[in-house]
Chain A
Amino acid sequence: MSEAHTHHEMSFWEKYVFSTDHKIIGFQYMFTGLFMALIGGFFVYVFRMQLAFPGIDVPGFGHVSELAYNSLVTNHGTIMIFWFAMPVLIAAFGNFLIPLMIGADDMVFPRINRLSYQIFLLSALVLIASFFVPNGGFGGSWTAYPPLSAEAQYNATPLGAPMWVIAVGLEFVAFLLGGINFITTLMNARAPGMKMYDIPIVLWMIVIASILFMCSVGPLLAGAIMLLFDQLIGTGFYNPAHGGDPLLWQHLFWFFGHPEVYVVLLPAMGIVAEIMAVFARKKLFGYKTILYSVFATGILSFVVWAHHQFIAGIDPRMANLFTVTTLIISVPIAELCFVYIATLYGASITFSTPMLWALAFMAEFLIGGVTGIFLGASGLDVYYHDTYFVVAHFHYTFVPIAIIGFYAGITYWFPKMFGRMLNEYWGKVHFWGTIIPFNFIFIPLFILGAAGQHRRISGYVHFPDLYTQDLQNLRIIATVSLIAMLAFQVVFIVNMVYSWFRGKKAEINPWKANTLEWTVPSPPPHGNFAEFPTVYRGPYEYSHPDREVDYWPQNEPGPDPAKSRK
């Protein structure tokens, strides 16, 4: 069927810029996200240098004023969540994988898909532009609490603040459009025979993440409009003197903000599930358990938000309630981790680069999850809140999610995306060069946080209790490790660019995997499938005793072992 597509001569612009092909749009999201990650990485380098060596001229930036420091921290957080984690994990992998894995030729609404990317690009441009207006980018922290965010006299960025709100709002609209596309595509466009429990876990995760995003972002979009009016017109939505309430924003923000954690976590967990099953050569343990745990996580994620506000003056009775729900939500997440480990149990594991990343994800994310228990308990949080303990905690969740999850995904699907194999040796060098410094950045921050180091201070020179030699040494260790980690990313970039053009040609199915994307040429042509596949069984039938080969593609005619076993 795709003959008409492939032979249609397209100009460069049609093919790569204004394309409606889901794969190209996925790449657009991915490269825009990676570009933004470079900016976010540069920002963190600058402000970590300021923290380790207060007052120096940072090479490549210069002197870091307090205003600049606030702006750098704020935009580092904003970029890494909204312009790196979301576009890369959900939009890039979602766009690339959903049609391929369900045996369709494209998304159901390709032009809305393109519009979604264009709005996303616009939002990124607005954000970047906000760094160059007078007084620089917004500096009221990525959570944008009023009155700091609402009034220019406090945040000192009269132009940066509204531009930041507009950029974030546009980004939300882009992901709403994209998310609705993902959801309807998975619901409606599946290949014949692909039933609910035949869908690869990663697609479930991406789509559930899109649903979570869609259900939680609405109130914040309304809240963002209100914040914008407070900033630009001078209304009093968040101003208690006029009958408004600053806590309203905190609630609206975290009502979105907490589900957002799971919005980015779930796709990463899905990617890891795919990789683990393939490289353990074992059927994924407890497919339905995973799915139901994710449902439970999704539902619970809507009733935990106020644990971010324990010291914001919220009602203490509510704080009790939210402590309980917060501790409950760790149950399904722990369930997921156990089930993943059960997949590994007794398997003959291949330690390829993607598998290393997947295992590292589990190990590092566990640390992030366990330290979250401390912060979820409202009593302990009174001490830990706004210290570097919190910073280290959420970086131990977000770095595994966004960075390790991305590297796991890209190293696994690189052959399919670009038709070449990545270099394994340099892949492993990059892996260790990222994982080891990563731990050396954030373990010191846990200690600093426990010592009482507050988050939102641009230098500790004026705080004698915190400016001791021991603590300063820890800051220097963290900063040096950060620079090492950033430097090792060059290895990845070189490896990726080199392999893209000079790497070993990839076969159709280099990992011997079951899912449908491995049945089309690498890279897949426009239209994906020469002949649309039919699905006969679930995606994780590895090492089945009745088979000579240890994998069993979903589209190979034959019995469905899930049925015959019953």
Chain B
Amino acid sequence: MAFQVPVATSRSSTGIPTSRLAVWWVLASEIVIFGGLLMSYLLFRLLHTSWGYEAAHTNPYAGGFNTFVLLTSSLFVVLAHQAAEVGDTKRSFRYIWYTIAGGGVFMLVKAYEYTSEIMHGYTMLKSVFWSFYYTATGLHGFHVLCGMVIMGIIAQDVKKGKNLHRVEAIGIYWHFVDVVWIFLFPLLYIAK
């Protein structure tokens, strides 16, 4: 069935393109989702002195490497947006796939971390710290995965030169996922 984009979508009373405006509202709602989880974590973290010892068993080097990976993928997606803006669809397509690859590396490192932690007995049930650790990083990882899938779809459009404005929208989302990790990293890995 032929779907026609309504006229409403192309209007812009605020001056911000509709897709970007929507992404900002998505981020506002995501901030409170992650925020609610992290605030709950922080309350317990400040209450329970023992959680510092628990946090010592995370792997800050893997976490740090993942921060590096996400920062780099953020660079790629902003370059993809820049390329899309000047109409260089080929370069944009390439950078989007670099970003997806970055997300893939992130997930692999995360999988390695999970595996080694579970092998060493630090499962979700060991203590509430670990429950939070797996819930928060899992929710974040879910967002990384979603971002990768959406980017794959957008990359196909970009290749055909369609819907180039979506590169910016997914870029903003991806940066947000990066920012969440920037806070997860010290909260879960560094602060001991």
- B-contacting residues of A (Cβ < 8 Å)? 1, 4-5, 8, 10, 14, 18, 20, 99, 104-111, 176, 180-181, 183-185, 187-190, 194, 214-223, 225-226, 229, 233-237, 242-245, 248, 252, 255, 527, 532
The residue among A4, A10, A109, A111 with the most chain B CB atoms within 10 A of its own CB is: A109
Known interface pairs A190-B13, A229-B124. Does A252 touch B36 (Cβ–Cβ under 8 Å)? yes
**Inside 8 A of A215's CB, which chain B residues have their CB?**
28-29, 32
Q: Which residues of B contact A184 (CB under 8 A)?
A: 18, 21-22, 25
Among the listed A104, A111, A176, A194, which residue makes an inter-chain contact with B3, where contact means beta carbons less than 8 Å apart? A111
- Please give, as numbers and ranges, the residues of chain B lying within 8 Å of A1 by CB-CB distance: 7
Q: Is B146 an interface residue (CB 8 A)?
A: no
Cα-based distance from A20 to B9 in the complex (angstroms): 13
Tell which of B39-47, B83-91, B94-102 binds the partner: B39-47
Contact of A109 among B11, B22, B28, B34 (CB under 8 A): B22
Whether B131 contacts A104 by the Cβ 8 Å rule is: no
When the two chains form their complex, are residues B8 and A99 in contact, meaning their CB atoms are under 8 A apart?
yes
A187-B36 Cα distance, complex, nearest whole Å:
27
Select one of A181, A223, A243, A255 contacting B48, CB under 8 A: A243
- CA distance in complex: A25, B6 (Å): 15
Contact B8 A108 (CB under 8 A): yes
Whether A188 pairs with B135 at a CB distance below 8 angstroms is no
The 10 sampled A-B contact pairs (Cβ below 8 Å) are A105-B6, A111-B3, A181-B22, A185-B8, A215-B29, A215-B32, A222-B139, A225-B139, A235-B125, A237-B131
Q: Assuming the A-B contacts A4-B4, A183-B25, are A226 and B135 also in contact, with contact meaning beta carbons closer than 8 angstroms in the complex?
A: yes
Interface residues of B in 35-68 (CB under 8 A from A): 35-37, 39-40, 43-44, 48
Known: A222-B33, A235-B124; 15 extra A-B contacts, CB below 8 A, are: A8-B2, A104-B11, A105-B6, A108-B22, A111-B3, A184-B18, A188-B13, A188-B16, A218-B36, A219-B32, A226-B40, A237-B132, A242-B127, A243-B44, A532-B7
Whether B135 and A223, one on each chain, are in contact in the complex, defined by CB atoms closer than 8 angstroms, is no
- Cβ of B113 within 8 Å of any chain A Cβ, yes or no, is no
Q: Say whether, besides A1-B7, A108-B8, A532-B7, A236 and B28 are in contact (CB < 8 Å).
A: no
How many angstroms between the C-alpha atoms of A244 and B131 in the bound complex? 10
| Residues of chain A contacted by B135 (CB below 8 angstroms) | 225-226, 229
Measured between alpha carbons, how far is A545 from B100 in the docked complex, in Å? 64
CB distance from A225 to the nearest CB of B (A): 6
| Inter-chain contact A218/B35, CB cutoff 8 Å | yes
Residue of B nearest to A194 (CB): B13
Once the chains bind, are B9 and A214 in contact (CB under 8 Å)?
no
Q: Which of A14, A106, A176, A226 contacts B29 (CB 8 A)?
A: A176
Contacts of B18 in A (CB 8 A): 108-109, 184, 188-189
Q: Could you tell me if B33 and A221 are in contact, using CB atoms closer than 8 angstroms? A: yes
User: For B43, what are the chain A residues with a Cβ–Cβ distance below 8 Å?
Assistant: 248
CA distance A214 to B33 in the complex (A): 10
* A105-B6, A214-B28, A215-B28 known; A188+B36 contact, CB < 8 A: no
Question: How distant is the Cα of A81 from the Cα of B39 in the complex, in angstroms?
Answer: 27
Question: In whole angstroms, how far apart are the Cα atoms of A188 and B23 in the complex?
Answer: 13
Grouping DSSP codes into helix (H, G, I), strand (E, B) and loop, the A interface class, with mixed when no group exceeds half, is: helix
Shortest CB-to-CB span from B173 to chain A, Å, is 13
Interfacial chain B residues near A222, Cβ < 8 Å:
33-34, 36-37, 40, 139
- Scoring A18, A187, A188, A245 by chain B CB atoms within 10 A of each residue's CB, the highest score goes to A188
B136 to chain A, nearest CB (A): 9
Min Cβ gap A221→B in Å is: 5
Contacts of B21 in A (CB 8 A): 184, 187-188
B26 contacts the other chain (CB 8 A): yes
Q: How far is the CA of A235 from the CA of B133 in the complex (A)?
A: 12
Interface residues on chain B, number (Cβ under 8 Å): 41
Tell me whether A235 and B6 are in contact (CB under 8 A): no
Q: How long is the Cα–Cα vector from A234 to B4 in the complex, in angstroms?
A: 48
Looking at B9, B37, B127, the one whose CB has the most chain A CB atoms below 10 A away is B9
- Please state if B40 and A223 are interface contacts (CB–CB under 8 Å): yes
Cβ–Cβ < 8 Å partners of B39 in chain A: 219
A residues within 8 A CB of B153?
Answer: none
Contact B7 A105 (CB under 8 A): yes
Q: Is B8 touching A104 in the complex (CB atoms < 8 A)?
A: yes
Question: Are A233 and B124 in contact (CB-based, < 8 A)?
Answer: yes
Contact partners of B11 in chain A: CB under 8 A? 104, 108, 188-190
**Shortest distance between the CB of A33 and any CB in chain B (Å):** 22
A219 to B35 Cα, complex, angstroms: 7
> B33 touching A219 by the CB < 8 A rule?
yes
With A180-B25, A233-B125 as known contacts, state yes or no: A106 contacts B8, CB within 8 Å.
yes
Say yes or no for B157: interface residue by CB 8 A criterion.
Answer: no
Using A226-B135, A233-B124, A243-B127 as known contacts, say yes or no to A104 and B7 having CB atoms under 8 A apart. Answer: yes
CB distance from A300 to the nearest CB of B (A): 18
Bound: A41/B174 CA distance, A:
45
C-alpha gap A467/B7 in the complex (Å)? 64
Bound Cα distance from A190 to B8, whole angstroms: 8
Q: Per-residue CB proximity of B117-142 to A under 8 Å, as 1/0?
A: 00000001101100110010001000
B60 → chain A, closest Cβ, in Å? 23
A111 to B124, CA, bound (A): 38
B9: chain A residues at CB < 8 Å are: 108-109, 189
Q: Which single residue of chain A is at the shortest CB-CB distance from B129?
A: A243
Within 8 A of A (CB), among B140-191: none
Q: Which residues of B contact A219 (CB under 8 A)?
A: 32-33, 35-37, 39-40
Chain B contacts for A181, CB-based, 8 A: 22
Kindly state the separation between the CA atoms of A233 and B26 in the bound complex, as whole angstroms.
Answer: 30
B residues near A187, Cβ cutoff 8 Å: 13-14, 21
Provide the bound-state CA to CA distance between A184 and B44, in Å: 37
Q: Assess the A214–B124 pair: CB atoms within 8 A.
A: no
Residues of A within 8 A of B139 (CB): 222, 225
